[in-house]
Structure 1
Amino acid sequence: MPRTNAPLPTAFSLYLDAVRFCAAVMVVFAHYVQHKLVSAPVAAVLPNWGREAVMVFFVLSGFVIAYTTENKGASAREYVVARCARIYSVALPLLLASFVAAGIAATWLGVDVPAGYELRRAYFYIPFHLMFMGELWVMSETPPWMPQYWSLGYEVWYYVLFGCAFYLRGWWRYAVTAGVFVLLGPKLWLLLPVWLSGVALYHGLKRYSMPVMVARLGWLLTLALLAAFHATGSEQAWRPVAQHLWPFPGIRMGSADRFLFDYVVCVLVVANFACARFAEFAALARAAQPIRMLSAYTFTLYLVHELVISCWRTFHGHDPDSTAHMVTLTLLIAATTWLAGIVTETRKHWFRAPFEALLWARSPARSAAPK
């Protein structure tokens, strides 16, 4: 049924916020299992949905960008400032913290730090990572003790590509957008459809709807299908197939080597979101405050938890069979996320000023603003 354009319903907005936070928690659980931080019996029941969670982030990112650019009337300058403040408010301090912590471990304790070679050329690699160039073409670089940073090397460049296509006009739009697309390289091309599916979802939801009961049944079905698909173990099984189909033998697939699995997850996530939009989960309103509060720390939790895990294992030591160790580590991750979030994600406005100064200094709108 055709629909007219409408603001994002509160229940659906809360659902997306809840999903965002749950996805970050799934990444943490996945790393508990992958790093063997928990005992075998616990690992057997702990969700290991890290890859699916990252695909959820990609779909959400595309959806949110499409929604905000269309409904909030942001100019190109405002788009750049908002994206930079959002990303750098968390990425910059935690990136610096990762280099400092890993540097202490490597220098004073003689620990063999993953990507430790970057510590010897921090003057190069810190700016390199702040430009999110670690996944372009043949590169596959992440900061010390922050391997999940790889996804920012995709998402940030998708922001750039979208901004060029959305805000530029005339031949500049085609030339610059094409140039950025070429700059991305094959790995980012592979996962671009996942991010763009979020954009397509936003525009599709403006045009169509479904009955509430159909939406709720569809929502349950997509969750069941996602769980069943995960249970098949396809994430690892499809890797050789993806590598066989890869047409660039001289370029490592790296973090995109599960793109076939990612596409299936993407379809199920998009379908789940579409059903949730019309399922009218009004009960979420009763938990609106904690949902909003927790979702405000999602990005920080996603980036900081590996740093905490690495510091804990290096400076203290970890026994996977110790309940006390596991509880302490979990509390440390929660406390660090909260403390870091106070000065990062929840203080994005602090990071707007330098970007506004760079981009708005000669803006007519700025000079015409009331004193």
Structure 2
Amino acid sequence: MLNNLQGARALAAISVVLLHVGASARDHSVNTPLFSSLGNWGNSGVDLFFVISGFIMVYVQDRSPRSPGRFLVDRAVRIVPLYSVMTLALFGLLIVAQSVVRSPAPEMGHLTASFLFLSKAIYGLDPVLYVGWTLEYEALFYLIFALSIVLSKPCSGGQKLLLILSSALILLVLTGLAPPIVLEFLYGAAIARVRHLIGLRTGWLFMVGGGVLLALTIGHDIAIEARWIFWGLPAAIFLMGCTIVPQISNGLVTRLGDASFSLYLTHVFVISALMKVYSLIPVVIEGDVWAAVVCGVAILVGILVHRYFEQPLTQLVRRGVTWIDSLNRRTAVV
């Protein structure tokens, strides 16, 4: 277990929370000089997530090879249940509380496309749960990764998988079918293959150097076309170091990393609700102080949702998949 990856996940999720707290504060006319100074830098958490995802897919596949079907099922079990529930929750909220949410309910076609991770492709819109736009690129990466497993099998699997994966993603970018940000998955995939060539001292240099490069972009708004360079490369350098240096053992950090997916999906609900509450509080609270409270509550809710909802839900779905697999095997034997 590379616990530093969990720390990186925690950092990525918190970065996105900071981004949306600042944005929501501006929408609700809450003065937050400190949070506002970050600008859109929190978006870099998404780039770090993409690099981590590329690394994990190759790292796990190298050690526990899976068939394309099993790979896709495993990924679906991991992300679909909670994402579907959160999407439905927001959809229901948009229907029953439009006067509070101040946003129209989406059409059923848009909702369906959101569930299928095709909202951008079909409608050119973010999904109903807007942070799900990143999951649509994740889903694209998973499909290409599964295809790479299929095509690499006649060619000694692991040796050719990265070449096929790289060729497919680069082709999508060159043809304009995907933005360059998808190349960040390749950064992570490459790290999984070359990290063993890097020594401990260089690993520390990579981790610190990547972190410094990311910090230098604070306050700068990077266009999505350039993020693979200005945020993706530093994130990759940082992650390379994280996989090499001694692994952390801090339980809180690893638990927060475990809860990063729940935090990512739920924080938008918490932030929106608490920023509305701010206008109702009779006592004057400094904007940045309230924003910090909002961040803390969002993190706590993310941890609780992971522990008491995401984990049981995922286990339930996984048991269902296992039951279906066993039923199919018995049917095949008969």
State yes or no: 1:129 paired with 2:121: no
Any conservation in 2 of the 1:77–1:360 contact (CA below 8 Å)?
no
| Pairing 1:77–2:80 present | no
Which residue is equivalent to 2:18? 29
Over the matched positions of the two proteins, sequence identity in percent amounts to: 19
Q: Which residue of 2 aligns with 1:246?
A: none
Per-residue CA shift, 1:64-117, capped at 9, x if unaligned? Answer: 0111112123233321221011011320111111111222221xx36531xx24
> What is the correspondence of 1:6-21 to structure 2 with a 5 Å cutoff?
10=1, 13-21=2-10
Counterpart residue type for residue 352 of structure 1 = R
- Post-superposition Cα deviations, 1:310-339, rounded to whole Å, max 9, x if no partner, equal 344457746796258546644542443234
SS at match of 2:217: helix
Q: Decide whether aligned partners of structure 1 residues 140 and 357 sit closer, same or farther in structure 2, where only a CA change above 3 A counts.
A: farther
> How far apart are residue 127 of structure 1 and its match?
2.5
Q: Among 279, 301, 309, which residue is 2:271 paired with?
A: 309
Deviations 1:128-176, CA, capped at 9 Å, x for gaps: 2111002227622321xx32111111111111111111135569x99xx
Match of 2:298 in 1: 333
Within a 5 Å distance, the mapping from 1:272-287 to structure 2 comes to 272-281=238-247, 284-285=248-249, 287=250
* Shift in alpha-carbon separation, 1:336–1:47, aligned structure 2, 3 A: same
Contact 1:101 1:311 in 2 (8 A): no
Alignment partner, residue 252 of structure 1 = none
Using the alignment, how far apart are the partners of 1:234 and 1:46 within structure 2? 10
**Secondary structure at the residue paired with 2:25?**
coil
Match of 1:267 among 227, 233, 240: 233
Instruction: Measure, in 2, the Cα distance between the counterparts of 1:84 and 1:218.
Output: 33
The answer to whether the aligner puts 1:230 opposite 2:193 as a matched pair is no
Question: In structure 2, what residue type is equivalent to 1:225?
Answer: L
Which residue is 2:143 aligned to? 160
Supply the AA of the counterpart residue of 1:337: G
Q: Does 1:296 align with 2:288?
A: no
> Counterpart of 1:62?
54
Indicate yes or no: 2:285 matched with 1:322.
Answer: yes
1:102 and 1:318, CA in 2 relative to 1: closer, same or farther beyond 3 A? farther
Distance 1:315 1:344, change over 3 A: same
Amino acid at match of 1:78: R
2:206 aligned to which of 218, 240, 263: 218
> Retained in 2: the 8 A contact 1:88–1:351?
no
Contact between 2:69 and 2:146, CA under 8 Å: does it hold in 1?
A: no
Relative distance call for 1:191 and 1:357 in structure 2 (3 A) is farther
Distance 1:103-1:167 versus aligned 2 partners, 3 A rule: same
Q: Give the letter aligned to residue 198 of structure 1.
A: G
Q: Which residue of 2 aligns with 1:195?
A: 185
54-63 or 267-276, larger mean C-alpha shift: 267-276
Letter in 2 for 1:302: Y
TM-score calculated relative to the size of structure 1: 0.73
Counterpart amino acid of residue 148 in structure 1? V
Please say if residues 23 and 54 of structure 1, whose CA atoms lie closer than 8 Å, have aligned partners that are also in contact: yes
TM-score, normalization by structure 2? 0.80
Distance 1:334 1:229, change over 3 A: closer
Alignment partner, residue 158 of structure 2: none
Q: Given the superposition, is the C-alpha separation of residues 219 and 346 from structure 1 closer, same or farther in structure 2, using an over 3 Å criterion?
A: farther
1:125, 1:353 → 2: CA distance? 30
For 1:349, the equivalent position in structure 2 comes to 315
User: In the superposition, relative to structure 1, how do residues 42 and 270 fare at CA in structure 2: closer, same or farther (>3 Å)?
Assistant: closer
Measure, in 2, the Cα distance between the counterparts of 1:272 and 1:152.
Answer: 22
Q: CA, structure 1 residues 330+280, in 2 after alignment: closer, same or farther (shift >3 Å)?
A: closer
Matched, 1:92 2:84: yes
Q: Which stretches in structure 1 are left out of the alignment for 5+ residues? A: 1-9, 240-257
Paired with 2:61 and 2:207, the residues of 1 have a C-alpha distance of 27
Aligned match of 1:142: 127
Report the 3-state secondary structure (helix = DSSP H, G, I; strand = E; otherwise coil) of the residue aligned with 2:246: coil
SS at match of 1:274: helix
> Matches of 1:201 and 1:131 in 2, distance apart?
30
Give the whole-Å Cα distance in 2 for the aligned partners of 1:65 and 1:361: 28
Q: 2:134 & 2:6 partners in 1: Cα distance?
A: 19
Q: What residue identity is the alignment partner of 2:14?
A: V
1:296 to partner: Cα distance? 1.6
Pair 1:215–1:111, CA change in 2 (3 A):
closer
Q: Distance in 2 between matches of 1:195 and 1:203?
A: 13
Q: 1:346 to 1:301 in 2, by over 3 A?
A: farther
2:124 counterpart letter in structure 1: M
Report the aligned-residue RMSD.
Answer: 3.5
